Amino acid sequence: MASLLAFPITQIALGADPVPTDKQIDHLGITNPEMLSAASKRALLWPDIGNEWFFENQVYDLKGDLAYEEGVVRRDPSALIKHDGKYYVWYSRSTGPTQGFAGDIEKDKVFPWDRCDIWYATSTDGVTWKEEGLAVPRGEPGAYDDRSVFTVEIMQWEGKYYLCYQTVKSPYTVRVKNQIGLAWADSPDGPWTKSKEPILSPADNGIWKGDDQNNRFSVVKKGDFDSHKVHDPCILPYKGKFYLYYKGEQMGEQITFGGRQIRHGVAIADKPEGPYVKSPYNPISNSGHEVCVWKYDGGIASLITTDGPEKNTVQWSPDGINFEIKAVIKGAPHAIGINRDLDNEKEPTEALRWGLTHEYKTSDYQYIRGFRTNRVLHHVAKGEGGKDVKGNDSARGKEAK
């Protein structure tokens, strides 16, 4: 790929004056190439790419059992897969309001994702859904997943189906450490066999300060980026192995660049069940929230949202570890569940053309909705050149196919 880079990065680091080309001066609108601001110096390092990775989105209501239901939480939809003419989705489901950490944590519900089980639904058109029932329940008392199982993702591999998800063990205190579990089945309708132990746990190298279980900011040592929680798992078969992407939360989490310290990591295994070994290059992002990754052009693409200095970007890595920013977007649906049935190689963001998301109706209750996206390659005035005001590409996402 061509680059706008006209001088070594080390020159900028050492304070040397770069010498941009005439093309760079014209493209970036530089007034005086001998008087470069820090912003201009950064811009000179931008890769020479177009808008192929840029998109906008719209969200719409679903019909049937996934329409909003008072008193019920349905959130964090998995990716969609298609089997025997039907789309399948899995999601976190719970009932009742939340009390936070001020209530009786042994009896009350702390968060909407507390006291969840994993349910699933099917649809023939992606719009009207039938809730099929429970897929993976919480564990028995004393198990690592006895409090909640939630934020699920699906993977198909060699005729089997794998669900990875977050787990919490009681009691649900502020300092509780989330882990990742796995279940597998020969059919998307189950029955599901759960892993007896978590397949991924937080790093064990942070040190809490004091014994207050409701203070997660007081630490002696913060530890690795995932010393507190491992969240939002997604397993992709890649390069003959299995890449488990996940969100890490750090003990003593702070605010940086106006956002939470949320970063992503990856753990790699030789088979779906593990064991998974965390990459020594972790964290592989310095921003993000819910994990949304897909294979494209021999590498891995990632949608980075919500938190950190690189939030609201689409990134791509040639090796699944080293990611580069490809586009800065206006925003994206929450907890996006992409459509694995689409041809991901058609366009960089084809995997995002339509799928599922969740929205907050209130702080207690969320529900699952649909989303669609369209590429925006350039902008024009209304009616100019026969295009609309944003110059949208004609390949628009549909509510269903």
- Region 29-41: mean pLDDT is 93
Q: Is the pLDDT of residue 2 over 70?
A: no
d(CA 229, CA 215): 15
Share of the chain above pLDDT 70, in %: 92
- Which pLDDT value is given to residue 214? 87
pLDDT 10s digits, 68-112: 999 999 999 999 999 999 999 999 999 999 999 988 888 999 999
Q: Region 25-49: what's the mean pLDDT?
A: 91
Residue 398 has pLDDT above 60, yes or no: no
| Confidence bin at 67 (pLDDT 50/70/90) | very high
Only one residue has tokens 């880079």, namely: 5
Average pLDDT, the chain: 91
Residues 6+ apart with CB under 8 A from 226: 202, 203, 246, 248, 249, 250, 263, 265, 278, 282, 283
Write down the pLDDT at residue 387: 53
- 5 pLDDT band, cuts 50/70/90, is very low
* pLDDT confidence of residue 210: 93
Q: Within the chain, which residue ranges are assigned CATH 2.115.10.20? A: 55-396
Among left, alpha and beta (phi > 0; psi -120 to 50; other), residue 15 is left
Three-state SS across the chain? Answer: CCECCCCCHHHHHCCCCCCCCHHHHHHHCCCCCCCCCHHHHHHCCCECCCCCCCEEEEEECCEECCCCCCCEEEECCCCEEEECCEEEEEEEEEECCCCHHHCCCCCCCCCCCCCCEEEEEEECCCCEEEEEEEEECCCCCCCCCCCEEEEEEEEEECCEEEEEEEEECCCCCCCCCCEEEEEEECCCCCCCEECCCCCECCCCCCEECCCCCCCCCCEEECCCCCCCEEEEEEEEEECCEEEEEEEEECCCCCEECCEECEEEEEEEECCCCCCCEECCCCCCCCCCCCCCEEEECCEEEEEECCCCCCCCEEEEECCCCCCEEEEECCCCCCCCECECCCCCCCCCCHHHCEEEEEEECCCCCEEEEEEEEEEECCCCCCCHHHCCCCCEEEEECCCCC
- Range name among 33-37, 281-285, 369-373 with the lowest pLDDT average: 33-37
Q: What is the pLDDT of residues 233-251, one digit of tens each?
A: 999 999 999 999 999 999 9
Mean pLDDT of 135-164: 98
Task: Tally Cβ neighbours within 10 Å of residue 280.
Answer: 6
Split at pLDDT 50, 70, 90, the class of 211 is very high
Topology adopted by domain 55-396: Tachylectin-2; Chain A (2.115.10)
Read off the tokens for 29.
């609108």
pLDDT at 378: 82
Judged against a pLDDT cut of 80, whether residue 37 lies above it is answered with yes
Distance of CA 8 to the CA centre of its chain: 33
| 366 band by pLDDT with thresholds 50, 70 and 90 | very high
Arithmetic mean of pLDDT, 8-23 = 62
Which region among 98-102, 332-336, 387-391 has the lowest average model confidence (pLDDT)? 387-391
Nearest to 126 by CA among 173, 179, 89, 78: 89
Q: Does the structure show a pLDDT above 70 at 225?
A: yes
pLDDT in tens, 265-305: 999 999 999 999 999 999 999 999 999 999 999 999 999 99
Phi, psi of 157 (to 5 degrees): -160, 120
